[in-house]
Structure 1
Amino acid sequence: MVRVVLADDEAVIRAGVRAILAADPEIEVVAEAADGRAAVEQVRLHRPDVAVLDIRMPLLDGLAAAEELHGSGTAVLIMTTFDEDAYVSRALHGGASGFLLKTGDPRELVLGVRAAAEGGAYLSPPVARRVIRDLGGPRMSRELDARRRIDVLSDREREVLALVGAGLSNAEIADRLHVVEGTVKAYVSAILSRLDLRNRVQAAVLAYEAGIVSER
């Protein structure tokens, strides 16, 4: 069972997200909060697998809450809207495991929660494109820079990076590559270290920039 803490200052949004997650029998919303400070407290109290946080909340916004929860053992998914995507690129260093559009396909919410709970990263495709666009510099220049960065990786490490970019969890990558999950964890750790990346979301964005991500 994937245990979730949900935080949004709009009760209607919380109700909608809770209903979507409740449709999956393997996901349980164990607590809710209407502000970021309460969200952090609920996560520390319940120790859920995933915290789904709105990017804008009273007392403490979703980005600040994600930073406080970094290293807590709870994966954080940030909910955003198109006009707030500029915040997402600034949040990549905050330890979030993914970003979801409130107006996106409800299935993405379930996919994102499951991926985060399994140690994966999830970026709604429109969010990923907007983030990459907002990182600065001409697209061709960014792609060339990204490709140069990943040149240090082995062919297998590049393959793993591409699958991280596609949002697959360690277990899904292991299944895809016909290896044990521990081997995938070792590859991911090596990739983050060699590319000087803090987390899987940064790795996913780099994979998008380098143009090596294909459809799941």
Structure 2
Amino acid sequence: MGKLQPFVVVVDDDESVSRAVKRLLRSIGITAETFASGDAFLDTLSSIPSYRPDCVILDVQMPGLNGLEVQRRLAGSGTPIIFITAYDDVGLREQALAGGAVAWLRKPFQDDLFARTVRAALERKQPS
């Protein structure tokens, strides 16, 4: 990889969760940027062609576009997606994994499990 640090995007409407995840990622040497909505993230992605995260962490339930819709719009990008959610809906989980998500973690999750999951997702990222 040509980058010194992996770059991950966190999309979650809960600001405290976004801050905590960003802090955790930073503690394991990963740069992160947060978005409070799927719409804001996709707007940035479409307006800045060079803006390409190495992994996207999505909440499922958000105002506007939910995480599954954001995942659909990222289909074919090769960007690994990890879902984090407080909901334990088997149907949504199956839909996310069938759509190519690399992981589905329930909030609250253990920091070490989260770190291992993100590292594994980054290893799966295909070089551009």
Structure 2 residue aligned with 1:40: 42
1: CA distance, partners of 2:93 / 2:44? 23
Conserved 8 A contact 1:54-1:79: yes
Structure 2 residue aligned with 1:56: 61
AA of the residue aligned to 1:55: V
**Bigger share in strand:** 2
Figure out how many residues of one structure are paired with residues of the other and give that number.
Answer: 118
Match of 1:28 among 31, 37, 54: 31
How far apart are 1:87 and its partner, in Å? 1.2
Structure 1 residue aligned with 2:71: 66
SS of the aligned residue for 1:73 comes to coil
What is the Cα-based RMSD across aligned positions, in Å?
Answer: 1.7
Identity level (%): 33
Match of 2:17 among 10, 13, 20: 13
Superimposed CA distance per residue, residues 165-185 of structure 1 (whole angstroms, 9 cap, x where no aligned partner)? xxxxxxxxxxxxxxxxxxxxx
Match of 1:111 among 109, 113, 116: 116
Shift in CA distance, 115/32, structure 1 to aligned 2, threshold 3 Å: same
Conserved 8 A contact 1:33-1:42: no
Conserved 8 A contact 1:81-1:102: yes
Conserved 8 A contact 1:100-1:112: no
Unaligned runs of 5+ in 1: 121-216
How far apart are 1:53 and its partner, in Å? 0.7
How far apart are 1:61 and its partner, in Å? 0.5
1: CA distance, partners of 2:90 / 2:12? 17
Shift in CA distance, 82/104, structure 1 to aligned 2, threshold 3 Å: same
- 1:1-216 to structure 2, matched below 5 A, reads 1-25=5-29, 27-29=30-32, 31-44=33-46, 45=48, 46-119=51-124
AA of the residue aligned to 1:35: S
TM-score, normalisation: structure 2:
0.82
Rg bigger for which structure?
1
SS of the aligned residue for 1:91 comes to helix
Superimposed CA distance per residue, residues 84-122 of structure 1 (whole angstroms, 9 cap, x where no aligned partner)? 3441012222221211222121112211111111117xx
Conserved 8 A contact 1:67-1:95: no
**Bigger share in helix:** 1
How far apart are 1:64 and its partner, in Å? 1.0
1: CA distance, partners of 2:109 / 2:21? 12
1: CA distance, partners of 2:7 / 2:27? 14
